[in-house]
Amino acid sequence: MTSLPAGWATVVVRLAAEELDEVSGRLWAAGVAGIEERDERDGSVELRAGVAASALDAVVAALADHELSVEAVADDGGDAWRAFARSWRAGERLVVVPAWLDPSADVHADDLVVTLDPGRAFGSGAHPTTRLCLAELEQLVRPGDAVADVGCGSGVLAVVAARLGARPVRAVDVDPEAVRATAANALANGVGDVVVAADQPATALPRGAHDLVVANIGAAVLIELAPALVGATAPGGRLVLSGVLAEQVEQVAAALVRAGATLEGERADGEWRALLARHPDDGVRQQR
Opening angle at CA 215, ends 212 and 217, nearest 5: 175
The DSSP output letter for 103 is P
Write out the H or E segment, with its range, that includes residue 272.
strand 272-278
Supply the pLDDT for residue 164: 97
Please name each of the domains of the chain with its CATH number: 8-84 (3.30.70.120), 127-278 (3.40.50.150)
- pLDDT digits (tens), the chain, 288 positions: 444 445 678 899 999 988 887 888 788 778 777 777 788 888 888 888 878 777 888 889 989 999 999 987 765 545 555 666 677 889 999 998 888 777 776 788 889 999 888 765 455 567 889 999 999 999 999 999 999 999 998 899 999 999 999 999 999 998 888 899 899 999 999 999 999 999 999 999 999 999 999 999 989 999 999 999 999 999 999 999 999 999 999 999 999 999 999 999 999 988 899 999 999 875 444 333
Supply the pLDDT for residue 201: 93
- pLDDT tens, 56-67? 888 899 899 999
**Which residues, at least 6 apart from 274, have a Cβ–Cβ distance to it below 8 Å?**
129, 132, 133, 136, 240, 241, 242, 244, 266, 267
Supply the pLDDT for residue 22: 83
Supply the pLDDT for residue 133: 96
Supply the pLDDT for residue 122: 56
Supply the pLDDT for residue 191: 97
Task: Give all strands (DSSP E) within 63-209, no chain letters.
Answer: 68-73, 88-90, 94-98, 112-116, 147-150, 169-173, 195-199
71 vs 7: CA distance, rounded Å: 11
State the pTM of this model: 0.75
Cβ atoms 125, 94 nearer than 8 A: no
Cβ atoms 264, 276 nearer than 8 A: yes
